[in-house]
Amino acid sequence: MAFTAKDVMALRERTGAGVMDCKRALTDADGNMDKAADLLRERGIAKAEKKASRIAAEGIVVCYTEGNTGVLLELNCESDFVAKNPQFTEIANEIAKVIIACDPANVEALLGCATPADGTVEEYLKSKIAVIGEKIAVRRFTKYVTDGFLADYIHLGGKLGVMLEMSGEATDEAKAVAHDITLQIAFTKPAYLTREEVPAETLEKEKEVLKQQAINEGKPEAIAEKMVLGRIKKFYEENCLMEQAFIKDDSVKVADLLKGANASIVKFVFYVMGEGLEKKSEDLSEEVAKQVAAMKN
């Protein structure tokens, strides 16, 4: 039985599945709408698509490396229970492998990349959603390819992740320093590597704030402007990695630590899992009430 584009859209509206998935299902079902809908459910596609509107604000950050290439990836799901499942970590690592092989420019491009299982990442995720029963989404990733070496650190089982690119030879001393610096980044969360990276606009805004603070303290404007010079130094020390005091010995700066190991940092990235994402806010009484209501139905 033949089917039209209108039939495809009707099936999409009915099941929430993607256009190509609906076309394949209608083809396999000889145009029978009910049979096609059943096929989509059997394949887990309709089930997966219906979860697309859910909030995926839990998850993990993983770092996966192969040789001189590394990927820092945030993969989201709906519950902490799923996030702690080793199978979820495996999913994240499999996607990171695809990023290394495919080199996508962004998450949208990643979803179209082929996986070793002969499907796309989007199809792979749908199959896992059907098994796990929760929405799964790649939020972001960063890929580094280096002529030096990489260091990484994952904190609290994936709640925060750091990836650091170092230049130079990966000596034992350099690797030890790189590891310490990943801990430094996780603890202090610097916005920049050096003071030169701070945008002029950000710096001017900070100076204005600091000047106004001094004026509010009762200082004359001329004195306030001089005080800004001292206070902006503290801004650099808090926000620029190379200016920071080493967390294990505050008499040493990170820059000095690197110099002592004859090592240098190229760049770094860190993700805080779920940062900025909306989360469900349900108190215990609401949750119990929902469970009771569900049992009655």
Q: pLDDT for 173-226, tens place per residue?
A: 999 999 999 999 999 999 999 999 999 999 999 998 888 888 888 999 889 888
- 66 with 29, same domain: the answer is no
Least confident of 19-28, 103-112, 261-270: 19-28
**63 and 119 part of one domain:** yes
44 and 99 in a single domain? The answer is no
DSSP string, 179-235: HHHHHHHHHH--SBSSGGGS-HHHHHHHHHHHHHHHHHTT--HHHHHHHHHHHHHHH
In a domain, 62, yes or no: yes
Q: How many domains does the chain have?
A: 2
Does 100 lie in the same domain as 30?
Answer: no
Question: What CATH number is attached to the domain comprising 33?
Answer: 1.10.8.10
Quickly count helices (H) and strands (E) in the chain: 13, 8
Domain boundary among 145, 178, 200: 145
253 within domain boundaries = no
SS3 153: strand
One domain for residues 14 and 67: no
Is the pLDDT confidence value at 281 over 60?
no
Mean pLDDT of 233-255: 96
Does residue 186 fall inside a structural domain? no
**Would you state the pLDDT for residue 287?**
44
116 inside domain: yes
Same domain, 135 and 56: yes
Inside any domain, residue 209? no
60 with 141, same domain: the answer is yes
The residue whose two tokens read 């704030």 is 209
Same domain, 72 and 123: yes
Task: Give the model's pLDDT for residue 252.
Answer: 96
Tell the burial category of 63 from Cβ atoms under 10 Å away from its Cβ (0-12, 13-18, 19+): buried
What's the chain's average pLDDT?
Answer: 88
Q: How far apart are CA 161 and CA 158, in angstroms?
A: 6
The residue among 145, 163, 189 that closes a domain is: 145
Partners of 239 in the beta sheet? none
Please report whether residue 29 resides in a domain. Answer: yes
Bridge partner list, 249: 246
Among 122, 145, 168, identify where a domain stops: 145
Residue 28 and residue 57 in one domain: no
Q: List, for residues 136-153, the tens digit of each pLDDT value.
A: 999 999 999 999 999 999
Residues 273/77, Cβ–Cβ less than 8 Å: no
Q: Please tell me the least confidently modeled range out of 30-34, 36-40, 87-91, 179-183.
A: 36-40
**Which range of residues forms the domain containing residue 134?**
51-145
Residues paired with 152 in a beta bridge: 163
283 pLDDT above the threshold of 50: no
- Residue 292 — very low, low, confident or very high, per pLDDT cuts 50/70/90? very low
97 with 122, same domain: the answer is: yes
- Per DSSP bridges, beta strands 264-272 and 249-253 are unpaired
Q: What is the layout of strands, in order, in the sheet containing 160-167?
A: 149-155, 160-167, 264-272
Please list, in sequence order, all residues whose beta carbon lies within 8 angstroms of the beta carbon of residue 148, skipping any fewer than 6 positions away: 165, 166, 167, 168, 169, 170, 266
Residue 211 resides in a domain:
no
